Structure 1
Amino acid sequence: MSRSRRSLVLAAVAAVLALSGMPAQAADIPPPDTVVTSPNVTHVLNVPKPAPIAATINTDLAFQGDYAYVGNYGGFSIYDISNPKKVTPVSSVVCPGAQMDVSVYGDLLFTAVDSSRNNDSCSSTGQSASIKESWEGVRIFDVSDKTNPRYIKSVETNCGSHTLTLVPGKGRDRLRNVYIYVSSYLPADNFPDCAPPHDKISIIKVPLRDPAAAAVASTPVVFPDGGNETQPGLLLPTTGCHDITVYAEKDIAAGACMGDGVLFDISDRLNPKVTARTTDPNFAFWHSATFSNDARKVVFTDELGGGGAATCNEATGPNRGADAIYEIVKGQLVFKSYFKISRYQADSENCVAHNGSLIPVKGRDIMVQAWYMGGVSIWDFTDGARPREIGYFDRGPRADGSGGGVWSAYYYNGYIYGADFHHGLDVLKISDPLTDSARFVRTDRLNTQTQESYRGRGHGHG
């Protein structure tokens, strides 16, 4: 969250979540700052945040070749992961602006800024969105030289860019352009560039041969009649989308849009069409989405409490703050079940479903997922009605009593990488009969919100 939005969300958290009831069982909670794992998970390595951005929190991850890109409220870092047991930082770029979601394509790195700034430079400072000249949106970097990334372009978008999703072009256009779906929300009457109604997304068209010419090409309205605004227990009424995951080769996308879950037809990249929409009385804030490899299921996450509350406890229960698994039947979303980690966390630990990705196991649906201070969960939803956790990594409460945890956890070429707010980059490995075949799958790029099928990507298992 950012600027005045963060204070609004925190106020909503206090109003929606008055946590009470029985605390988590002390015997089930690791000692402060202590790492615990299931027997099939190994904590391979922790790499502290590089000094230039050590004071600000880590956020999202993207991968290309032998490199990991780690977003951070203060900028981003590039790591050499050619040897996952000896990961090393290559460079850090100080360029503040929450949240710094990252996606990489060729020599271009795209970063999301949802923090109103006094200008678009990397030396900018925070400035109220009520000032017309304030800037927020997307920054584009040339990362051809990993030791010295170069800032080449900014694109301002209405209400900033809370998250961004990279969408390849179709057919011959794939060689010419890439598109960025920008999710943003929380307009206000006194924000000149973010006034209500804001029930839309922004789409940036980036010419690959001339990325400096990138510009907003369309702003399709997702909710022409308004979104879910009155459901009891909502963190915030729908005023746009929080995050979108595209499955470009299948021309579909799933939108996590605050109070609504949405499916899109994206066959026309600049004009996505809503094909299905749903709500859930147990969901407070539709946060993100992940398709199964065959695109017959989609997992939506709920960021109950806005990421700042202790919702992984007995008082909250198993159905709120959980993932929701849907089957896609004749183009519509059919609810199957919830999944939530059963490992209770201390009431000092902010814990909620957050960013994750599939582990590429042929014939099964297995996901790795961050849960903030609930750590990292590996879980199987092959049977959408009966999901189960098969492995985990967790740290105990922070000794200083502050919040934090793992923001995002993704599987890439044999290992799991987790971006922890404070601890830096964690490298994990799962060794389990259910996931061992994934070691045969190799890819040269991973932007989690840009899903690609395993087929045709070199897997060697039968």
Structure 2
Amino acid sequence: MGRNPPSRFDPDERKLSMRALRLAAAIAAAVGLLALPATVSAARAQTVGEGSPNLSLVKNLSYETAEGSNITNGGTDIEFATIAGRDYALAGSYKNGLQIVDITDPTAAEIVGVYDCVVQQGDVQVFEREELTEEGEPVTKTYVGYTMDTGYTPGVGSTCFTEATELGFSPKGQRFGSFIADISDPTNPVTVSWVPFAQGSHNHTVDPSGKYIYNSNSDLITSTEPAIEISDITDLSNPRAVGELPLPFIPGLGSESHDITFNEDGTRAYSAALSHTNVIDTTDKENPVILSTIVDPMINVHHQADPVTLTDADGVDHTYLVIEDEVAGATGTGQCPNGGVHVWDVTDETLPIKVGYWNIDDVGLTTDNVLGTCTAHVFDIHKQGPSNAVMTIAYYNGGVRVVDLSNLTGVSLGTQGVGMMELAWYRLPDGDTWSAKTPAIEADGSFYLYGNDLARGLDIYRYTASAEASANPGRWLSAAEAELLLPKASVPANYKPFCLLGDDGPLGGIL
């Protein structure tokens, strides 16, 4: 899920992307992993849920179960691209390959191609390059990175393995890393490269230049020497490991990077690393430097961290870092909500200051959910002018949410008490949404929202800015209030986080 800057849906839009993981803080030493229910979506996806008047379900697309896969749908990360004038959603999955969906008309969206790659967890990164044809004519090529995690048996007979081997790579022998495919023809994705990482690739992020991969590996819990691995992919036929950035090690918690987000120009990266979050100077991509490390005792699992810069009423820019907490690695606690997002002002990168915490204000879970998981997960942030921004976020069984971030500047100035407010929500009885993003926001603030769902596949929603908003803005706490009032998750002793290891890993389970 790592993030890189704007898609081509709107070149002028300052889109700040994000990414995904899970684990448990004080309970990280517990044993046992939860199996993804292979039959959870065997029945037709339900089409009626509940939500605010301004967010409605438009369409659902289920994924074909790949040969060698034991998972139905298994939707994970999602990204977007515009190719030859048409818009596409690129939806990752557990073991069912990359789903390439034509969303030019979202109401008539259809899967037009599948990158056959039976791997986990299918984290997606999209990047473009201007290249020359054999005749010397300029052409825009669109590529996608697709991650292979550790701890399970991949489908080595799937197309991505066969194509990579034919190119001279050895994914079957090296086992773990990231595939890179050319999707310039969305109906015919073709493997063009393989980037090995010894500990696998849980999430990865391609920098805005499209020349480097920063890898968040799969040794999330046990490593005592955490580091971000850096590979130069300028020459896709010969990717090179060029270095590592050591991260702080905090005993008792995983300390590896889980997800990395670059800013627009690629000079900064933000790594959510389970027990802490790092602000990193990436001006020199091969020699990054940590500027500061955030250790927040109120965060159970630092899962994703994305920046947004807003201009306050005095004309001063403030950069905020939104850090998402995936409580207990998305174990099913039976509570709703868990997790939430913590906001830090990182305008002074060497001295981050916490400004608040936000979460949905629901109580209880959907009546017929399977996993009983309701914690914040993959989110995305879109600027809407100098002082306005919107966040879209998935909450597993807790549905999808649209959140206004515009009042964060007021919190910093002391003139506004509520920094974030929910605008819209939607929840499906059989939903288990991993990621929720939009490629672009229309002039009036409306947009289509895409939820990639473990149980259902791809759900497409319509957010109408002019319609009645959510009646409940959620729960905002100042930094001081959060420290005093924020309840700790009630996690059962036999908790089962499900995103850290594979189905035949040392601890069992499936994710």
TM-score under structure 1 length normalisation? 0.74
Deviation at 1:409, TM superposition (A): 0.5
1:57–1:421 Cα contact (<8 Å) kept: yes
Q: SS at the partner of 2:246?
A: coil
1:163–1:242 Cα contact (<8 Å) kept: yes
| TM-aligned CA distance change 1:160 to 1:264, over 3 Å | same
**Does structure 1 residue 338 correspond to structure 2 residue 363?**
no
1:117–1:135 Cα contact (<8 Å) kept: no
| TM-aligned CA distance change 1:182 to 1:216, over 3 Å | same
Deviation at 1:137, TM superposition (A): 0.9
Q: Which has the higher contact order (CA 8 A, sep 6+)?
A: 2
Q: Work out the CA distance in 2 between the residues paired with 1:159 and 1:137.
A: 8
After superposition, where does 1:307-346 map in structure 2 within 5 Å?
Answer: 307-310=330-333, 312-313=335-336, 321-331=339-349, 332-346=351-365
**Does structure 1 residue 360 correspond to structure 2 residue 390?**
no
Deviation per CA, 1:283-340, whole angstroms, max 9, x where unpaired? 1110001211446101000111211223643xxxx7x612101111421221111111
Q: Give 2:399's aligned residue.
A: 375
Deviation at 1:158, TM superposition (A): 2.9
Q: Give 1:70's aligned residue.
A: 91
Q: Give 1:410's aligned residue.
A: 437
1:163 maps to amino acid:
N
Pairing partner for 1:200 from 227, 234, 241: 227
Deviation at 1:272, TM superposition (A): 1.6
- Between stretches 7-16 and 329-338, larger displacement belongs to 7-16
Deviation at 1:188, TM superposition (A): 8.5
After superposition, where does 1:249-268 map in structure 2 within 5 Å?
Answer: 249=265, 251-268=267-284
Q: Work out the CA distance in 2 between the residues paired with 1:416 and 1:7.
A: 23
| TM-aligned CA distance change 1:8 to 1:248, over 3 Å | closer
Deviation at 1:134, TM superposition (A): 5.2
2:179–2:193 Cα contact (<8 Å) kept: yes
Q: Work out the CA distance in 1 between the residues paired with 2:224 and 2:25.
A: 22
Q: SS at the partner of 2:227?
A: coil
Q: Work out the CA distance in 2 between the residues paired with 1:333 and 1:257.
A: 16
Q: Give 1:24's aligned residue.
A: none
Deviation at 1:165, TM superposition (A): 0.8
Q: SS at the partner of 1:85?
A: helix
1:311–1:321 Cα contact (<8 Å) kept: no
- Taking only the aligned residue pairs, the percentage that are identical comes to 26
1:312–1:374 Cα contact (<8 Å) kept: no
Q: SS at the partner of 1:240?
A: coil
**Does structure 1 residue 217 correspond to structure 2 residue 242?**
yes
Q: Work out the CA distance in 2 between the residues paired with 1:16 and 1:382.
A: 41
1:76 maps to amino acid:
L
| TM-aligned CA distance change 1:147 to 1:139, over 3 Å | same
| TM-aligned CA distance change 1:379 to 1:407, over 3 Å | same
Runs of 5+ unmatched residues, structure 1:
18-31, 125-131, 170-176, 190-195, 231-236, 399-403, 437-462
TM-score under structure 2 length normalisation? 0.67
**Does structure 1 residue 394 correspond to structure 2 residue 438?**
no
| TM-aligned CA distance change 1:77 to 1:154, over 3 Å | same
Deviation per CA, 1:67-99, whole angstroms, max 9, x where unpaired? 111101112110001101110001123312211
**Does structure 1 residue 47 correspond to structure 2 residue 80?**
no
Q: Work out the CA distance in 2 between the residues paired with 1:187 and 1:250.
A: 25
2:63–2:73 Cα contact (<8 Å) kept: no
After superposition, where does 1:446-457 map in structure 2 within 5 Å?
Answer: none
Pairing partner for 1:299 from 286, 298, 322: 322
Deviation per CA, 1:261-292, whole angstroms, max 9, x where unpaired? 11111111112211111112221110001211
Deviation at 1:197, TM superposition (A): 3.3
After superposition, where does 1:428-439 map in structure 2 within 5 Å?
Answer: 428-433=461-466
Q: SS at the partner of 1:249?
A: coil
2:79–2:90 Cα contact (<8 Å) kept: yes
Runs of 5+ unmatched residues, structure 2:
2-20, 33-45, 129-141, 162-171, 311-317, 412-417, 441-446, 470-511
What is the number of equivalent residue pairs in this alignment? 377
Q: SS at the partner of 1:305?
A: helix
